[in-house]
Structure 1
């Protein structure tokens, strides 16, 4: 697992977490925000009216209402990114990471507006009578020109690349991280084996997605509002309980943006780059603006006006990231859980063994922080670690989840372990059945679970996270199955959709018991593979986008 994760992280460092990719993502949103005159602000009220059906006309082509299309797209984005993703961003980048998530969402509102409008404009009716759309369709049909040069041949290639990436991303974004976080949360809260969780939910997933888009929108239009209400009630029970920490928490989000976060509690600090990279990356994972996924759901909307559906899409990053992720961030910050250590079983991929004893004092905390940022590396341990009566015999320091591990115990089948554990460059390979546990920082869904316990509901708060995680993540998996089957239809035709769905359900089951860090790394890679051709495509069509918006407002002003 360590070798696989290291290999995947090296790939991701050149794509999803690379500086050029993150700046391209923000830069595209910034360009269209200025080019179209801040549509996320000017058109916000109009977008709400469109969702409420104020301008609907009878008999328009499509398979879903504006509201159903919105909830389906939201169910595809509101998931582990809002619960586990925010926690992971804060864990690595500190409070300033939330600021960069919000910036990503603000510009992402415009990016969503553009990609949904263009994709809806070129949607098609498939052989089974349903609508199919998405970036691969505008890439297939639109006239790509830049500086008076024709790039239509390139656009056809981009369409294929995007569709293939969508299928991969349906597994890496909408499938595997969702069930993995559900299984982890249910295990933490109810002590249910991940295999059981994966088995039950895989069957339910299969029953829903077999019904196609019409069954999916019926499920999501009821599921999304319900899960949001449950989650908000639990979140505000923590925020109000820790009300005196709310203002300092909000302040910390903005004051550390360029300076980074200093050592506090078990948190060893984070510089600007960690906050920026993780905030933008987790922001994209949360709202998927620029990724090209939401346009696939919006293509099913009943409307003949592509821009009106683009208006609806403006609301998605606002709801998903600016509202829900901010609320999650305030829960984590106001409760103090993000910098506290908790008793937990250590994930192998989060363990690092340093070949010297380092007490947890300010000087050594700074040394380990520099090591984690790869500025001044400390010597990692190589060789066999000796374990006697469940304790490490060698003079080493155990780092887990970017923090000094305390009260470390090694067990096998619940009993103290005696034997050895091999380590290479600080990474350990645990023998079958061996578990390392102790007190350390935690991240992802387990961190949010701990934070929800620090409010009016006490230990009952953890059930809110488990229920919210189950509903949020399961609905995301449902929506992404639709994205993948539309991409499969585009590439291979309707008859191959059933094969895709079978593999989708199998992967959903397997990912329930794979380590979370590997899943997040895979997600980062597949997001980048899908996002890059879409960003290139919408930039190529920037003039067409502006003229399409102009035509819409002209018709709107002259409507009966």
Structure 2
């Protein structure tokens, strides 16, 4: 089994680092040019729409969809996950401080990609059994008629159900179980049953309850984490200038100054920064369009503009704060990686409360991702197998949440990464095929 796990990891790493990295970045650059720097021109409008629609207790979602803000928070629920803590720490440990610069670059171009995804999700959304729905499966079918379109759409749906709905949610619950076990010595399985029970309650309520939960949970978890990070950065304020200097200098000269990670090259910094950034903000992966399709807006481009704010919040705010906390604490020199590196950084400022803070944030981040990923999978289960299959899908997801909390899930993580990559291909093919339509809509 260990050999199989390593083989899956090798295939996944090759796929992400040598194919998807260039496809995702290339698509982002193409949309940026085709849409004439839409992420710069419409940034102000996106912020106005974000704060203009801010509401912790908005109108309940119904068969016609949800508010634009609820759609954004549902998307951010999936985007802001354990990758914002663990993924950022991994990028720093493997690619050095310069990796953060390349995270920013990938996010900048990713904002144009996600604009296209949201516009197409709105344009090709449809009504099934009286309920509005949408996502890549529908605009893939629109881009390619006949058997080829049906094959690509079906392939995408199966990949996202496996990658996010099943395996992805399994590893999210594992992150919660591990964090609470370390911080409070609560058995991981007990935590898993609790998370599964709350998840089941939300799943049963359908899109109405999912929208209601995410519009409250996402702003609260974001503020909690941002305030915690800002407190640490205030404590370490004398080192902040040096942190930014490391990020910019080591992006192009990895060994130019103290703080660089031994053996890191420009290519390594770029690879880990771009890969972890894209994996976190999900631009181009085809996941968040399921939420944006349900937004009640006057024009598709209205949701495209606010969708860009999800990538901005995920990478330029949350990921950047995590990186600055780790760099300003000096924890990078410890040799720790992943969650342990993040915990060390927070412990140096908060003492023993650091572990508790990370555990609470992991609960918020991973649980919100479980909700978002479940919903994305549900849309595709309905499209492939009909309404009756949703209950079976829900039961399987809840079971995976319980089991995943207490297992060593290296294989599941690697399989999730691989299927995440596989679902990107048909989504990007459709995005590029429909780029002309996106450009025309953007001009309206």
For the pair 1:203 / 2:97, whether they are aligned, the reply is: no
Q: 1:26 is matched with which residue?
A: 25
Q: Whole-Å Cα distance in 2 between the matches of residues 75 and 94 of structure 1? A: 27
Conserved in 1, the CA contact under 8 Å of 2:246 and 2:259? no
Distance 1:113 1:322, change over 3 A: same
Conserved in 1, the CA contact under 8 Å of 2:68 and 2:295? yes
**CA deviation after TM superposition for structure 1 residue 266, in Å:** 11
Q: Whole-Å Cα distance in 2 between the matches of residues 266 and 193 of structure 1? A: 38
Q: 2:346 is matched with which residue?
A: 452
Q: 1:132 is matched with which residue?
A: 133
Q: Whole-Å Cα distance in 2 between the matches of residues 234 and 293 of structure 1? A: 29
Q: CA offsets per residue over residues 183-224 of structure 1, 9 Å max, x none?
A: 221122112222121121111111111111110011111101
For the pair 1:217 / 2:211, whether they are aligned, the reply is: yes
Distance 1:225 1:194, change over 3 A: same
**CA deviation after TM superposition for structure 1 residue 154, in Å:** 2.8
The SS at the match of 1:15 is helix
Distance 1:277 1:173, change over 3 A: farther
Q: 1:541 is matched with which residue?
A: 434
Q: CA offsets per residue over residues 249-302 of structure 1, 9 Å max, x none?
A: 111112112333589789544223332222122111210000011110111111
**CA deviation after TM superposition for structure 1 residue 61, in Å:** 7.9
For the pair 1:183 / 2:168, whether they are aligned, the reply is: no
Query: How is 1:58-77 mapped onto 2 (pairs within 5 angstroms)?
Result: 62-77=64-79
Q: Whole-Å Cα distance in 1 between the matches of residues 199 and 256 of structure 2? A: 44
For the pair 1:7 / 2:1, whether they are aligned, the reply is: no
Q: Whole-Å Cα distance in 2 between the matches of residues 93 and 176 of structure 1? A: 27
Q: 1:308 is matched with which residue?
A: 302
| Among candidates 116, 129, 144, match of residue 114 of structure 1 | 116
Q: CA offsets per residue over residues 353-402 of structure 1, 9 Å max, x none?
A: xxxxxxxxxxxxxxxxxxxxxxxxxxxxxxxxxxxxxxxxxxxxxxxxxx
Distance 1:447 1:516, change over 3 A: farther
Q: 1:494 is matched with which residue?
A: 387
The SS at the match of 1:291 is coil
Q: 1:101 is matched with which residue?
A: 103
Query: How is 1:119-518 mapped onto 2 (pairs within 5 angstroms)?
Result: 119-127=121-129, 129-142=130-143, 144=144, 153-171=147-165, 174-261=168-255, 268-340=262-334, 441-455=335-349, 457-515=350-408, 517-518=410-411
Larger RCO of the pair (alpha carbons < 8 Å, separation 6+)? 2
The SS at the match of 2:16 is coil
Conserved in 1, the CA contact under 8 Å of 2:50 and 2:309? no
Aligned-CA RMSD value:
2.3
Q: CA offsets per residue over residues 321-352 of structure 1, 9 Å max, x none?
A: 11110000000111011221xxxxxxxxxxxx
Distance 1:33 1:266, change over 3 A: closer
Q: CA offsets per residue over residues 454-507 of structure 1, 9 Å max, x none?
A: 22x322132221111101110110111000000101111111011111111111
Q: Whole-Å Cα distance in 1 between the matches of residues 263 and 256 of structure 2? A: 5
Q: What are structure 1's unaligned runs of at least 5 residues?
A: 145-150, 341-440, 552-560
Q: Whole-Å Cα distance in 2 between the matches of residues 31 and 479 of structure 1? A: 28
Q: CA offsets per residue over residues 221-260 of structure 1, 9 Å max, x none?
A: 1101111111112112221111122111111112112333
Q: 2:422 is matched with which residue?
A: 529
Distance 1:497 1:60, change over 3 A: closer
The structure richer in strand per residue is 1
- Superposition TM-score, scaled by structure 2 size: 0.93
How many pairs align? 438
Q: What are structure 2's unaligned runs of at least 5 residues?
A: 54-58
Distance 1:518 1:265, change over 3 A: farther
Q: Whole-Å Cα distance in 1 between the matches of residues 259 and 111 of structure 2? A: 35
Q: Whole-Å Cα distance in 2 between the matches of residues 173 and 275 of structure 1? A: 28
Q: Whole-Å Cα distance in 2 between the matches of residues 158 and 259 of structure 1? A: 42
- Superposition TM-score, scaled by structure 1 size: 0.74
